[in-house]
C-alpha cells in the first residue's frame, strides 16, 4: 500500500512540475511590457483619484480658498496637518476674523486616506500626481502648503 502511494506521489509531483514549467514558458514567450520608469517619467497618466501629494492651489494673485476652519486638521487620523491661524482685523466689517498663517503638512506621516480633502468645505486642498517623495532628511517631508504672503481669495460679488 505504501509503495503505490509513493509512486502516485512521484507522478503527481512530476505533473505539477510540468504545469509550472508550462506557465513559465508561456510567460517567457510573451512580449515584454516593462515600463522604463526613470526614462518615461512624465508619460504615465494616473487615475483621477490617484493620491500623490497634498497641494493648496493658488490663483495668479496668490490667493487660496482656505478659510482656516481646521476641519481637515481635526479629521486627519494621525495629525499630519497643522493649521496655524492668527486674528486679523477685517477692513470691511471692522471685526476680528481668523486668517490662515501657516498650513503645515507632514508628508512622512500621511497615510493618504483623503479624509482632509473630502471634509474641506471650500475644496481648498487637493491631491496632485507627484509621487516621488524619497529624501535622506525626514525634515524635508514637512511642507508648508500656503505660500508666503498668500491670503484668502476675495469674495466675488455678483
Residue 152, C-beta contacts closer than 8 angstroms, at least 6 positions apart: 63, 64, 65, 66, 67, 99, 100
| Closest among 66, 68, 78 to 113, alpha carbons compared | 78
Element (H, E) at 20: helix 2-29
Domains and CATH numbers, the chain: 51-152 (3.30.70.3270)
On whether the CB atoms of residues 105 and 135 are closer than 8 A, the answer is no
Q: How confident is the model at residue 152 (pLDDT cuts 50, 70, 90)?
A: low
DSSP 63-125: EE------HHHHH-TT--EEEEEEEEE-TTT--EEEEEEEEEEEGGG-----HHHHH-TT---
For the stretch 22-73, pLDDT in tens is 999 999 999 888 777 777 777 777 788 889 899 999 988 888 999 999 999 9
Kindly report, residue by residue over 75-130, the tens digit of the pLDDT.
999 999 999 999 988 888 888 888 899 999 999 999 999 999 999 999 999 999 88
**145 three-class SS:** coil
**pLDDT winner (highest mean) among 92-96, 146-150, 152-156:** 92-96
Cell of 155: 469674495
Amino acid at each position: 500500500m505504501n509503495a503505490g502511494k509513493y509512486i502516485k506521489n512521484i507522478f503527481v509531483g512530476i505533473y505539477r512540475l510540468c504545469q509550472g514549467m508550462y506557465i513559465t514558458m508561456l510567460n517567457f514567450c510573451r512580449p515584454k511590457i516593462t515600463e522604463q520608469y526613470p526614462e518615461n517619467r512624465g508619460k504615465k497618466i494616473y487615475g483621477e483619484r490617484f493620491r500623490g501629494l497634498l497641494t493648496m492651489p493658488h490663483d495668479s494673485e496668490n490667493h487660496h480658498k482656505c478659510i482656516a476652519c481646521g476641519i481637515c486638521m481635526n479629521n486627519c487620523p494621525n495629525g499630519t496637518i497643522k493649521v496655524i491661524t492668527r486674528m486679523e482685523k477685517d477692513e470691511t466689517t471692522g471685526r476680528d476674523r481668523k486668517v490662515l498663517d501657516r498650513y503645515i503638512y507632514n508628508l512622512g506621516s500621511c497615510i493618504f486616506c483623503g479624509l482632509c480633502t473630502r471634509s474641506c468645505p471650500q475644496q481648498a486642498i487637493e491631491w496632485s500626481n507627484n509621487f516621488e517623495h524619497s529624501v535622506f532628511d525626514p525634515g524635508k517631508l514637512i511642507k508648508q502648503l500656503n505660500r508666503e504672503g498668500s491670503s484668502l481669495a476675495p469674495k466675488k460679488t455678483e
